[in-house]
Amino acid sequence: MGRKGLWTILAVLALAMMSVRTALAAPAINEQRPNRAGMRVYGQVTAIGDGQFTLLLSDGREVTVRVDEQTRFRQAGGGEATFGDLTVGRWVAGVGRPTDQEGVFLARVVVLLPEDFDPSQRLGARAAGRVVRVDAEGGTFVLDTRQGEVTVAVNEATRFRGIASLGDLQPGMFAAAAGEKQDDGTLLARVVGAREGKRQVQRFAGEVTAVDTGAGAFALRTRSGETVNFSVTEKTRYQGKIQGLGDLQPGMAAVVGATRGDNGRWTALFVAAGPRPEVQRFVGQVMAVNPAAGQLTLKTREGQEVIFATTERTRYRGVQGLDEVQPGMAALVTAAEVDGRWVALAVAAGRKPADARRFVGVVTAVGEHEFTLNTQGDGQVTLQVNDQTRFRGISGLGDLNPGMKAIALARPGKDGGWVALAVGVRLEGRGGGHQGGPGRVRLLGQVEAVSGNALTLTAHGGQSVTVTVTGQTRFRGIGGLSDLQPGQKVLVVAAKGDGQLQALLVAARPGP
């Protein structure tokens, strides 16, 4: 499948996603399946069941995709398809919404990619949001996305969907663009899709700080520390442990989907809230695993043995499920205390070779199965890549989640804060901190919150730092060997194998 065909699919899915998202503003037709913000999934089919199939995503996670009579199936090259056309091993892309069950996705559109689809092809840069400004003569327009404003440029090769040309694009419309990011931060679009839309739904997560049932309002302190006031109406839907505004209490954890009116005030479309559980992270070695009972025992670095219960909502990294976790593995478990026991929310596990080494340097050459690195202390090093090599990187703030390790290269802003020049992910277990330089600083730590265009990191000493992401911020993303470029700075974990250095993990590092 050519890259042009993939751009078209992405644009179609982006517009379909926006149509699902704007449906939140309408009353729910079926209260047992409330609408939520739309999302996209892309991966390879690993199992097919009754009215559902399992998809292995590009980041190694698995999701269950459910279909119903409203799900539409399409062939990537055009034409109709059916559920019966799915086969194990087939790559598909879909748009829909998550369900109340973790890891389960309800599809509205499923696109079957060609059988010769090559997942190693780069998806390129993408942006979606409300149109802010249009410069038809200059061939550009500006989108207000969740990561901030993005300038999109078009040329004679740009294709349009939903509109005939840039001259048809108007401020206030929803648009999606896919293309290549230029050195100045502008997105040169290969495909632009646009449509008239209702007000954009924004999602907020944080802690309830105040409730006024008489005024039909409440306040939420987001993870970035911002306090947002919301009004509720008779159309506001409630989920989780609450049935209405009267059940909402200060101190509860809540997720709110809301739209902003012309007066600048937020109106809540849905509110999901409940008591905030105590969440802790445990690092250590797996001592015992009981898949039948859904339990694993971890010996922490402090020597304490902790038993964790797992559920169908437990997420896994490095392994596909509890049955792949083995005694002796190193593991990181994020858990919440429920009814006096620890319930695992996420388990990251794997075996670390005893002779593993870390290299930091600049890529000087890229081959078919290897690349060469000019390291800081070991000179030129050639590293082999195979199907076991993992690559890490991000393409936007949406790829970062609380608890992940991240690194940002930043400069001082005019308001005294920090403005991110580049953002990337880093390896687990490295101490956080601030490393300075002339006119810029390197911020390392754990992601505390992602809200709008703000990223908050917590360093090893507990200090929190918030950086602002702009349209000029570079995101370091590596999806495979083909993404490596000479001059790129990377961090590699490698081990000896067959007399050669085998790369186990390759991660992009921000900075020149």
Question: What is the band of 355 on the pLDDT scale with cuts at 50, 70, 90?
Answer: low
Total number of residues shown for the chain? 512
Instruction: Find tokens 């709008």 and name the residue.
Output: 452
Domain count, the chain: 6
> Which uninterrupted H or E stretch holds 128?
strand 125-135
pLDDT mean over 343-348: 88
How far is the C-alpha of 308 from the C-alpha of 6, rounded, in Å? 42
Instruction: Give the pLDDT score at 153.
Output: 94
Same domain membership, residue 438 and residue 298: no
Residue 504, both tokens? 């186990």
Report which residue type is found at 424.
G
- Whether residue 117 lies inside any domain: the answer is no
Question: Which residues share a beta bridge with 210?
Answer: 219
Same domain membership, residue 28 and residue 108: yes
pLDDT mean over 165-188: 86
Is pLDDT of 280 > 90?
no
Instruction: Give the pLDDT score at 431.
Output: 40
Same domain membership, residue 500 and residue 361: yes
pLDDT mean over 128-147: 87
DSSP state of 79: S
CATH of the domain at 309: 2.40.50.320
Give per-residue pLDDT as tens, 468-495: 888 778 776 666 787 777 877 888 888 8
Same domain membership, residue 371 and residue 502: yes
pLDDT mean over 97-103: 80
Give residue 412's domain range.
Answer: 397-475
For residue 152, count other CB atoms closer than 10 A to its CB. 26
Of the given ranges (1-15, 356-370, 412-426), which has the lowest mean pLDDT? Answer: 1-15
Smallest Cα–Cα separation from 502: which of 404, 362, 357? 357
For residue 77, count other CB atoms closer than 10 A to its CB. 12
CATH of the domain at 134: 2.40.50.140
Same domain membership, residue 488 and residue 387: yes
- Whether residue 43 lies inside any domain: the answer is yes
CA separation (Å) from 350 to 185, 299, 437, 493?
A: 37, 15, 35, 14
Give per-residue pLDDT as tens, 192-244: 888 765 556 678 888 899 999 999 999 998 866 788 999 999 989 898 788 99
Same domain membership, residue 483 and residue 372: yes
Mean of per-residue pLDDT scores for the chain:
78
How far is the C-alpha of 95 from the C-alpha of 225, rounded, in Å? 32
pLDDT mean over 149-173: 88
Instruction: Give the pLDDT score at 215.
Output: 94
Instruction: Give the pLDDT score at 118.
Output: 61
Of the given ranges (122-126, 175-179, 233-237), which has the lowest mean pLDDT? Answer: 122-126
> Which uninterrupted H or E stretch holds 189?
strand 187-195
Instruction: Give the pLDDT score at 279.
Output: 76
Residue 389, both tokens? 């090599």
Same domain membership, residue 245 and residue 210: yes
> Which uninterrupted H or E stretch holds 9?
helix 3-22
Same domain membership, residue 415 and residue 449: yes
Same domain membership, residue 485 and residue 465: no
How far is the C-alpha of 87 from the C-alpha of 199, rounded, in Å? 39
Same domain membership, residue 15 and residue 54: yes
Instruction: Give the pLDDT score at 6.
Output: 42
For residue 353, count other CB atoms closer than 10 A to its CB. 13
- Domain end call among 64, 82, 112: 112
| Range with top average pLDDT, 74-78, 143-147, 290-294 | 290-294
Instruction: Give the pLDDT score at 199.
Output: 56
- Whether residue 268 lies inside any domain: the answer is yes
Phi then psi for residue 242, to 5 deg, are -125, 150
- Domain end call among 274, 298, 327: 274
Question: Which residues share a beta bridge with 424?
Answer: 407
Instruction: Give the pLDDT score at 450.
Output: 79
Same domain membership, residue 158 and residue 104: no
- Domain end call among 195, 228, 255: 195
- Whether residue 119 lies inside any domain: the answer is no
Instruction: Give the pLDDT score at 198.
Output: 54
Instruction: Give the pLDDT score at 36.
Output: 38
- Whether residue 160 lies inside any domain: the answer is yes
Residue 296, both tokens? 């694993």
How many Cα atoms are found within 13 Å in the side-chain-facing hemisphere of 317?
15
Instruction: Considering only residues 386 and 23, tell me which one the structure prediction assigns the higher pLDDT.
Output: 386
- Whether residue 118 lies inside any domain: the answer is no
Beta strands in 459-498 (DSSP E): 464-468, 474-475, 489-497
Give per-residue pLDDT as tens, 39-54: 778 888 877 877 888 8
Global pTM reads 0.32
Question: Residue 40 contacts by C-beta under 8 Å, 6 or more apart in sequence?
Answer: 13, 14, 17, 93, 94, 95
Instruction: Give the pLDDT score at 508.
Output: 67
Same domain membership, residue 489 and residue 385: yes
